[in-house]
Amino acid sequence: METRRFSAATRLIAGIGIAGVELGAFLANSLGYDRTMALGNAAGDLLYGLLARPRRRIHHNLTLAFAGSMPEAQRNSLARQVLRFFAKNWLELFFYGGGNKAELRKRISIQGIEHLEQALAKGKGVIAISGHIGNYPLLGTQFTERGYDFTVVIRDPKSPVTSRIYEHARAMIGLQTLYTTPERRFFKNALNTLGRNGILCLISDENKRRGGVFVDFFGRTASTPPGPAALALRTGAAIVPVFITRNPDNSQRIHIQEEIPYEKTGAAEADVAAITARYTVAIEQRIRADLAQWMWTNFRWRTQPYGPSDAAKLKKLRPVKLLQKKLRAPLGRIIHE
């Protein structure tokens, strides 16, 4: 895991946040797993009732993904479930970080480990494709605990304070990570990981504002990170979709799918686009298997070939400005008449 240096002021402020994380982990372990999950359900319902913006984002993205065909009642139900999962996932990480890892590990099973072993047998490393599905940070911890060289690629938060708190939280759960910046260091470390036949996990379901490859996602063009494809073509590493989902009883299952085949034709751009489209299909299929387990708050379709799509981004509600606009309209007509 990469470590960074922080200023004294940053360490002081972050220390307060870290104390809060430690307290949360202690309380979650004091409650026990079942009561922590029950608290997660209640917290999700509270978020649904109090926070309009994430609720509206989920509705908006579901409308885009299903071209308006999903009934409002179903969107309401899904929005509540998504926020419940969100709250449970966070509280579960507090529980896990509190030291009671064995309690959670026994609730997690792995399906398809043979696909991973077959990919590793080629000796060129594995690029694990995943998304914001289920409690995805647990992927790295579970594979590491089982003896695999598993590294998750992450973006470092812009805020030094947030970065320090997150770094401490990742250490608590034992998540081995690699920052995407600086870019040169990232590529060097990524190539080293694959070169030693390790597993490099890339979360590949977010909107890519710059440098993305446009592929189909839920029937709409979506700017998608091409990094996994580029690394695979460079190294010959196998591409294996890996996801984790929660069951109704709060046990969880890691799904390791068959390796995604690809070929290097020499037409770099076309090859990257083809590979990116294939792993995006794998992500979409897993999301469709249980819609509530994906975080529907990301503006996935925001970037388009012609520029930013206003239709894909939820506009902020500004009641005062809306009222001013309505009041100005009649006055404008009076002046110009």
Q: What is the mean pLDDT of the chain?
A: 91
| Choice among 111-125, 130-144, 320-334 with the minimum mean pLDDT | 320-334
**Cα atoms in the Cβ-side hemisphere of radius 13 Å centred on 131:** 26
First vs last C-alpha separation in the chain: 69
- 27's tokens: 């309380």
Q: How far apart are CA 98 and CA 292, in angstroms?
A: 27
pLDDT tens digits, one per residue of 175-206: 999 999 999 999 999 999 999 999 999 999 99
- Higher confidence at residue 198 or residue 315? 198
Greater model confidence, 80 or 3: 80
pLDDT-derived band at 93 (thresholds 50, 70, 90) equals: very high
The answer to whether 218 and 169 have CB atoms below 8 angstroms apart is no
Lowest-confidence region among 70-84, 160-174, 270-284, 303-317: 303-317
Residue 319 scores a pLDDT above 50: no
DSSP class per residue in 42-108: HHHHHHHHH-HHHHHHHHHHHHHHTTT-S-HHHHHHHHHHHHHHHHHHHHHHHHHHTT-HHHHHTTE
- For residue range 224-271, list pLDDT tens digits in order: 999 999 999 999 999 999 999 999 999 999 999 999 999 999 999 999
Percent of the chain at pLDDT > 70 equals 90
Return the exposure string of 175-213: e unless at least 16 CB atoms fall within 10 Å of the residue's CB, then b.
bbbbbbeeeeebeebbbebbeebbbbbbbbbbbbeeebb
331, with CB counted inside 10 A (0-12, 13-18, 19+), is exposed
Encode pLDDT of 44-56 as tens digits.
Answer: 999 999 999 999 9
DSSP annotation of 310: G
What average pLDDT does this structure show over 89-106? 93
pLDDT at 100: 82
Please report which confidence band the pLDDT of residue 335 belongs to, taking 50, 70 and 90 as the band edges. Answer: very low
Q: pTM here? A: 0.89
pLDDT at 330: 42
- Encoded tokens for 77: 């139900």
Q: What is the pLDDT, as a whole number, of residue 272?
A: 97
∠ Cα 146 174 295 (to 5°): 95
**3-state secondary structure at position 133:** strand
Q: What is the mean pLDDT of residues 208-219?
A: 95
User: pLDDT at position 97, please?
Assistant: 95
Write out the H or E segment, with its range, that includes residue 289: helix 268-289
Please, which pLDDT band fits residue 3 given cuts at 50, 70 and 90?
Answer: low
β-bridge pairing 213-217 and 220-224: antiparallel
Output the six-digit token pair for 284.
């979409």
